Structure 1
Amino acid sequence: MSWTRERERGGAALRLMAWIARRMGWRFSHALLYPVTAWFMLSAPARQRESMRRFQRRALGREPGWADLWRPYFAFAATMLDRVYLLQGRTKGFEIAVTGLEALDAHIAAGWGCVLLGAHFGSFEAMRALADRGCPVEVMAFMYEANARLANAVFSALSPEKAERVVALGRADSMLRAKECLERGGLVGILADRRPAVGEDRVVPVPFLGAAAPLPAGPHILAAVLGAPVMLAFGVWRGPRRYEIRFEEFAARVVLRRGAREADLRDSVLRYAARLEAMARAHPANWFNFYDFWEELDGPGRPAPVPAAVSPAGRRAVLALPALAAAPLAAPGAAEGGGLEAVMAALAAVRRSEAEFVETKEIAGLADTLPSRGTLLWQAPSTLEKRVVEPFQERIVVSGERLVYERPARGERQEVNLDQAPEVRALVEAIRSTLAGDLATLRRYHEVSFAGTPEAWTIVLHPLSVRVRAVVQRLEIRGVAGSIRWFQTVGNESSVMQVTPRT
């Protein structure tokens, strides 16, 4: 569900708060934030609270407590209060520290203008207050305003001249105004973390805090068209009237090459998401996306479990997991039709299969390869087994919600509960989805690309989870009709497996 469908709350409360702030002063108004925050948090829709709980769980790496859930609500209320004063230029008592200003000054001095990519994270108003202190060029902010009309109306009344410097994205003249600002050497700020209000298909699903999130393509396309240097900009709320403004270099230019446009676009969005993720982990109270950011709650999803610690033996099992997907899937023939759907239909037709494999691994830092031989078994709906017989004995079995790794000669045995290991589950479910021909589930965990025909095909998987990508960056499967014949993983331990079905 898009943020644009979430009902805006608190219009009357904002007007009242703005009136109190102007007449009673900051200290009195700040004391009122505690009951106001409590009311907003306790009266928030269950869906909103669950969305924030999921964010906190992923950002903190543990189950959030009430204090964790309270902080972003309170920080948001505090920045709204501060916004009343910052819009009017009343900055006495505020502390605003700045890092990375030298790089921004260099772009300004060069007269090129600059695109600043921000997010609904912390205070964008604190950055505009910094500009008011003596920025030599104009600053314009471009953002989607569809779900904040009440708040924008309140704050625009406080400072009509600053409201003119906020331009709604999606309007016919948005691109022209951005281009004219840059040509004058100005700064164009764009919040690049929310799915657009119009043209909702213009998103790029990328890994963010361990799951795929739909980030907008528009800001990156706009930056490419404008052809100006790009920096990241964050206004981090540090406490009462305390902010840290951070500027970071992002790209000399965002370039979308002809013939590689989608790959270049995804790379730009990925790099933005990685930096936003780092900021969200470091300052989770500044996360102001109070909605289903991953768009999970329309389905039957449940909160992601806290990752469990995995021993070295279990880690080897995780590294070997992708090889389980190489079990031969002999089907009578590909389904009628073409492309990926036909191949997945052929795979789904197989309920049980066995094969022999020869696998060669390349381990980072070692010149020699490490070959091994063994057998593979797939039994629908959920059992996978890989048994190594040479040069050592090893067994990995996934069945239901449990993964078991065994190395008898070393006395090693490790069990992993998939409910407590979401990164392992991502690999397991991707493998089971491939074997079961379940394309919808496969796409929840991987970016899927397909080449060839149903008779001779290649499927390439790129994990969406950042943590999974730390182990396996890419998986490539090649097959003939309904049978897998070749499998490759690229990661910390890259491997190539040749598969021979048992007749």
Structure 2
Amino acid sequence: MSWKSQRERGGAALQLMAWIARCAGWHLSYALLFPVTAYFLLSAPARQKEAMRRFQRRALGRAPGWRDLWRPYFAFAATMLDRVYLLRGETRGFEITTSGLDMLDARIAEGRGCVLLGAHLGSFTAMRALADEGNGHGGCPVEVMAFMYEDNAARANAVFSALSAEKARLVVPLGRPDSMLRAKECLERGGLVGILADRRPAVGEDRVVIVPFLGVPAPMPAGPHILAAVLGAPVMLAFGIWKGPRRYEIRFEPFADRLVLNRRTREEDLCASAARYAAALERVARAHPGNWFNFYDFWEEMSEPAAPAPRLLRRAALCLPFLAASIPASAQPGGLEAVMAALAAVRRTEAEFEERKEIAGLADTLPSRGTLLWQAPSTLEKRVVEPFAERVTVSGNRVVYERDGRERQEVNLEQAPEVRALVEAIRSTLAGDLPTLLRFWKADFEGNPDNWTIHLTPLSVRVMAVVQRVIIHGRGGAISRFETVGNESSVMEIRTLR
């Protein structure tokens, strides 16, 4: 369940609360949060509440109750109310404490600028209030610019932008053409660039790395770490924790004097940086689970009701993993990484195949034969010549299925997650892109350079409903067989042509 696809709720209610807050004051508005929270909690989708319970079960180490579920909804409502006042500079009655501020001051004094990695945990607006003049902390001597993905909260952002147009200009949507340029310019002026680094997409790309979080592999966006490395700025962690009515604790922690992604160890360095961020986020999330505002399936492990891809396309997608079998690979010492490196070196190849497919409920196997084509970086093609003419083509985010020159179907992979996972298993394998492969699959390698096997197990329950595992067999310098185990199990023998 992607957070980007969730419908924004409560736009009209937020406008009303903002009006009440300005007219009736904080105390009455705070009292109204109790019935408002009760309404939104009771009317929240069952999947959303289940996603929150999964987080709480892992963060608390026990089964959560209704009181546990209530806390993040109420805390989120309270931070939205406080945001009305903080954006207007009305900080009287607020208590904002800090830790690690001296380390941030030292970074500011260097004049190099600093990237602040935060999360959807607590209030980023409270951190901004710390930088404003007249808040009792002396204000921040440099500009503070926030970069975040805003498209799924357009109505809420419109309400808050109306409260302070000046501060609204300092919030830059991620994924826009000028996002990185504005970040670079802010840092060159010695400013602070804040990024909420726990959700994808980040800085215009939809790439994630899989790292441990609360004991379970979770997707973390790579973009903030790549941005920090490209800009060469110091990096600190920043969390604005809601502690109660108008009380916040702002925490700053050192992260890296400079993030370095070496060319030869780029993926390892990227994963290490994301893992350190996830570990720090885990510590704060365990200590303050009521501040967790990711109201969606953070681990992407829940089945998602969505319009399924056409049946023929789903069957075609099941055939696609065999395209990867046309690639010769040298299994040198180093295991999976060495095999993937050899795959990445092959830019184009063709092969003949013979396939035996078993479908549940049928006693006989369905044989077929044809040719396979891979063209780097992203074009895959499977042509069946017997028992009938059929072609499956993958290019970018499109999958096209054609049969007998008359039937044609097309699907956008962004709208068909289960097909995309299957396609990425092939594309990532062919491209030697191990991080992307591990975003969708758990990979196990066994054997030796003369006889090796890669086992792929899907991370998504939606994919697992179609394919339980994919097995790639290789001997010496070539992949010799591809197997899938699922509703339609298949074995394909490969003979590389060139």
Query: Could you say which residue in structure 2 is the equivalent of 1:455?
Result: 450
Letter in 2 for 1:82: D
Residue 27 of structure 1 deviates from its aligned partner by 0.3
**Pick from 208, 230, 234: which aligns with 2:235?**
230
Query: Could you say which residue in structure 1 is the equivalent of 2:25?
Result: 25
Query: Could you say which residue in structure 1 is the equivalent of 2:266?
Result: 261
Query: Could you say which residue in structure 2 is the equivalent of 1:54?
Result: 54
**Within 1, Cα distance between the matches of 2:123 and 2:442?**
33
What does 1:468-487 align with in structure 2 at a 5 Å threshold?
none
Query: Could you say which residue in structure 1 is the equivalent of 2:277?
Result: 272
Change (3 A) 1:338 1:199: farther
Query: Could you say which residue in structure 2 is the equivalent of 1:35?
Result: 35
Asked if 1:64 corresponds to 2:61, the answer is no
Unaligned 5+ runs, structure 2? 134-138, 306-324, 330-335, 340-436, 460-472, 477-498
Q: Is the 8 A contact 2:180 2:203 kept in 1?
A: no
Q: In structure 2, the residue corresponding to 1:249 is in which secondary structure?
A: strand
Q: Is the 8 A contact 2:96 2:249 kept in 1?
A: yes
Q: Please report the RMSD computed on the Cα atoms of aligned residues, expressed in angstroms.
A: 3.4
**Within 2, Cα distance between the matches of 1:147 and 1:451?**
43
Asked if 1:167 corresponds to 2:172, the answer is yes
Change (3 A) 1:267 1:197: closer
**Within 1, Cα distance between the matches of 2:328 and 2:62?**
44
**Within 1, Cα distance between the matches of 2:446 and 2:113?**
42
Q: Is the 8 A contact 2:202 2:222 kept in 1?
A: no
Residue 205 of structure 1 deviates from its aligned partner by 1.3
Letter in 1 for 2:3: W
Query: Could you say which residue in structure 2 is the equivalent of 1:319?
Result: none
Residue 57 of structure 1 deviates from its aligned partner by 0.6
Change (3 A) 1:254 1:458: farther
Query: Could you say which residue in structure 2 is the equivalent of 1:129?
Result: 129
**Pick from 261, 286, 289: which aligns with 2:291?**
286
Question: TM-score, normalised on structure 1?
Answer: 0.62
Q: In structure 2, the residue corresponding to 1:214 is in which secondary structure?
A: strand
**Within 1, Cα distance between the matches of 2:243 and 2:169?**
28
Question: TM-score, normalised on structure 2?
Answer: 0.63
Q: Is the 8 A contact 2:203 2:227 kept in 1?
A: no
Q: Is the 8 A contact 2:149 2:201 kept in 1?
A: yes
Letter in 2 for 1:80: M
**Pick from 180, 186, 194: which aligns with 1:189?**
194
Change (3 A) 1:444 1:161: closer
Letter in 1 for 2:37: T
Residue 195 of structure 1 deviates from its aligned partner by 1.4
**Within 1, Cα distance between the matches of 2:60 and 2:44?**
22
**Within 1, Cα distance between the matches of 2:204 and 2:233?**
24
Residue 203 of structure 1 deviates from its aligned partner by 0.7
Change (3 A) 1:299 1:207: farther
Residue 457 of structure 1 deviates from its aligned partner by 3.5
Listed one character per residue, the Cα deviations across residues 374-412 of structure 1 (whole Å, up to 9, x for unaligned) are: xxxxxxxxxxxxxxxxxxxxxxxxxxxxxxxxxxxxxxx
**Within 1, Cα distance between the matches of 2:439 and 2:191?**
41
Letter in 1 for 2:253: E
Change (3 A) 1:94 1:9: same
Residue 458 of structure 1 deviates from its aligned partner by 7.8
Residue 455 of structure 1 deviates from its aligned partner by 3.0
Q: In structure 1, the residue corresponding to 2:200 is in which secondary structure?
A: coil
Q: Is the 8 A contact 1:2 1:195 kept in 2?
A: no
**Within 1, Cα distance between the matches of 2:104 and 2:204?**
32
Q: Is the 8 A contact 2:112 2:233 kept in 1?
A: yes
Q: May I ask how many residue pairs the two structures share in their alignment?
A: 340
Change (3 A) 1:142 1:336: closer
Query: Could you say which residue in structure 2 is the equivalent of 1:153?
Result: 158
Residue 456 of structure 1 deviates from its aligned partner by 3.4
Q: Is the 8 A contact 1:96 1:245 kept in 2?
A: yes
Asked if 1:245 corresponds to 2:240, the answer is no
Q: In structure 1, the residue corresponding to 2:151 is in which secondary structure?
A: coil
**Within 1, Cα distance between the matches of 2:118 and 2:209?**
17
**Within 2, Cα distance between the matches of 1:135 and 1:184?**
14
Q: Is the 8 A contact 1:4 1:197 kept in 2?
A: no
Change (3 A) 1:215 1:99: same
Letter in 2 for 1:448: A
Query: Could you say which residue in structure 2 is the equivalent of 1:87?
Result: 87
Letter in 1 for 2:268: A
Q: In structure 1, the residue corresponding to 2:41 is in which secondary structure?
A: helix
Q: Is the 8 A contact 2:210 2:438 kept in 1?
A: no
Change (3 A) 1:258 1:194: same
Q: In structure 2, the residue corresponding to 1:147 is in which secondary structure?
A: helix
Listed one character per residue, the Cα deviations across residues 316-348 of structure 1 (whole Å, up to 9, x for unaligned) are: xxxxxxxxxxxxxxxxxxx997667x9xxxxxx
**Within 1, Cα distance between the matches of 2:202 and 2:49?**
22
**Within 2, Cα distance between the matches of 1:22 and 1:129?**
18
Letter in 2 for 1:171: R
Q: Is the 8 A contact 1:338 1:453 kept in 2?
A: no
**Within 1, Cα distance between the matches of 2:152 and 2:222?**
19
Q: In structure 1, the residue corresponding to 2:250 is in which secondary structure?
A: strand
**Within 2, Cα distance between the matches of 1:139 and 1:266?**
27
Change (3 A) 1:228 1:452: farther
Which segment is superposed worse, 226-235 or 199-208? 199-208
**Within 1, Cα distance between the matches of 2:263 and 2:123?**
37
Change (3 A) 1:171 1:446: closer
Listed one character per residue, the Cα deviations across residues 98-127 of structure 1 (whole Å, up to 9, x for unaligned) are: 000011000111111100000000000000
Listed one character per residue, the Cα deviations across residues 396-443 of structure 1 (whole Å, up to 9, x for unaligned) are: xxxxxxxxxxxxxxxxxxxxxxxxxxxxxxxxxxxxxxxxxxxxxx96
Q: In structure 1, the residue corresponding to 2:156 is in which secondary structure?
A: helix
Listed one character per residue, the Cα deviations across residues 67-116 of structure 1 (whole Å, up to 9, x for unaligned) are: 00000000000000000000000001000000000110001111111000
Q: In structure 1, the residue corresponding to 2:177 is in which secondary structure?
A: coil
**Within 2, Cα distance between the matches of 1:16 and 1:164?**
24
Q: Is the 8 A contact 1:231 1:250 kept in 2?
A: yes
**Within 1, Cα distance between the matches of 2:3 and 2:474?**
44
Q: In structure 1, the residue corresponding to 2:157 is in which secondary structure?
A: helix
